[in-house]
Copies of this chain bind each other. A is one copy, B any other.
Amino acid sequence: MTTALLTDQYELTMLQASLRDGTATRRAVFEMFPRRLPDGRRYGIVAGTGRLLDAIAEFRFDDAALGHLAEHHIVDGSTLDWLADYRFTGDIWGYPEGEAFFPGSPLLIVEGTFGEAVVLETLALSILNHDSAIASAASRMITAAGGRPCIEMGSRRTHERAAVASARAAYIAGFDATSNLEAGRVHGIPTAGTSAHAFTLLHDDERDAFASQVASLGRGTTLLVDTYDIETAVRAAVDVAGTELGAVRIDSGDLPQLAAQVRKQLDSLGATKTRVIVTSDLDEHAIAALAAAPADGYGVGTSLVTGSGHPTCGFVYKLVARGADGDLIGVAKKSKDKLSVGGRKYAWRRIGAAGVATQEVIGIGEHAAPRDGRELLVPLVRSGERVFDESLESARQRRRTSVEELPPHARQLSHGEPAIETTYLREGR
């Protein structure tokens, strides 16, 4: 399936006009960055880069795409010819997945001719804006969970394909598993799930449903105990499965109180190793409120796949430099409320004496090696060839170390300023 038409029409009309006047071949540097973090957030987490590199490889104008553009007179014949041969031949650098970001972080730098780089705008923004929004919310939930396992189960509350990408982004941010089978197949993420209320309601009584589930899925399964009366259900669950019962799940009610009550009941029945899983409308704040409750795992749905109040990141993709008489000159829009900083960027994170991040340093112009920190941009594509391909495990590890390196207030859930400030350096100074 080609990704070529997952694109705003104006990318192609700009291409047509620039092909006609000769500027399409001018050297261009586009930069993707957030103007700010969502209100109150202290950091964000990059996700989607791997998916973007896959999507760029599939960005080819096939007959169906070209036929549509021709039939609707969206671009002219010479533009169609150019698109038919399209292949990105430039260079791309980016923050790798799992890395923390801050206002102004140059998350992606695309350098090539104007024509080849401008047409990637919409696709690149769609993927990184979505996936990073999910990973940024997920990272807060993982911090709130304090080491207890989290399962992503929000597929039903987002677009069916966004659900697969959400599972991937949540996994990068530290979630342990997903309910989404396609995410298991495509991305190799562990999948989980046992039963819903419908299964209990289908049976003549709850005990029949539990017995059936244990017979089919084994004593290690998770029984859902809140269809009718929780205390009765827990008793029946242990009665049917024995004390080797894997887990019970509570999906409604006052979760801290119910978790404590169910834990006590399980212990009194001898099921001391049976875990208590809670799953009702959790977000990072509800998870934090469960810290003192005897919950052994969290299932998170709606608030995860909707970015917990911030369903998109607001990244923009701006031309920041272009060729002019053999040189590269910085360019920027002048409008007051949508300022960009012109010029090609590099970036490092300044690290203080105790190994704690202190600043996001964005250099403009010629690259200078970081003197007291670590480089943030890695080469992703060189002369059109993908040179970066990493496992989700490696992105997951990066998120962990990147968040641990931030000052402690970064991990607070309350509203606050970005955890470190962003500073701009011109020409290595």
Contact = CB atoms under 8 A, between A and B. Distances in A.
A197 B158 contact: no
Interface in A58-104: 64-65, 68-69, 72, 74, 76
Contact of A202 (B114, B182, B193, B204): B114
A200 B331 CA distance: 10
A7 B336 CA distance: 46
Contacts of A158: 126, 129-130, 159, 162, 311-312
Contacts of A212: 17-18, 20-21, 23
A194 B13 contact: yes
Contact of A216 (B20, B126, B192): B20
A182 B5 contact: yes
Contact of A226 (B68, B74, B335): B335
Contacts of A28: 198, 202
Contacts of A336: 252-253
A235 interface: no
A192 B9 contact: yes
Given A126-B158, A199-B14, A7 B181 contact: yes
Interface stretch (A115-123, A139-147, A282-290, A405-413): A115-123
A195 B13 contact: yes
A306 B201 CA distance: 34
Given A162-B162, A226-B335, A302-B314, A18 B156 contact: no
B228 A13 contact: no
Contact of A126 (B163, B251, B335): B163
Given A6-B164, A195-B10, A333-B227, A157 B312 contact: yes
A125 interface: yes
Contacts of A213: 17
Nearest to A9: B193
Contact of A204 (B76, B153, B305, B324): B324
A191 B72 contact: yes
B8 A184 contact: no
A420 B65 CA distance: 45
Interface residues of A, number: 105
Contacts of A3: 160
A10 B179 contact: yes
Interface in A5-53: 5-14, 16-18, 20-21, 23, 26, 28, 30
Given A23-B202, A156-B125, A161 B163 contact: no
Contacts of A122: 155-156, 179
Contacts of A150: none
A334 interface: yes
Interface string A208-238: 1000110111000000001111000000000
A135 interface: no
Interface in A369-414: none
Nearest to A325: B204
| Most-contacted residue by chain B among A185, A197, A201 (CB, 10 A) | A201
B153 A129 contact: no
Interface string A160-172: 1111110000000
13 contacts: A6-B155, A6-B161, A7-B182, A9-B180, A9-B181, A10-B193, A13-B194, A14-B199, A21-B215, A158-B312, A161-B161, A197-B333, A252-B333
Interface of A: 1, 3, 5-14, 16-18, 20-21, 23, 26, 28, 30, 55, 64-65, 68-69, 72, 74, 76, 114, 118, 121-123, 125-127, 129-131, 153, 155-165, 179-182, 184-185, 191-199, 201-204, 208, 212-213, 215-217, 226-229, 251-253, 280, 302, 305-307, 311-312, 314, 317-319, 322, 324, 331-338
Given A6-B182, A72-B184, A130-B162, 5 more contacts: A17-B195, A55-B160, A125-B157, A201-B331, A280-B337
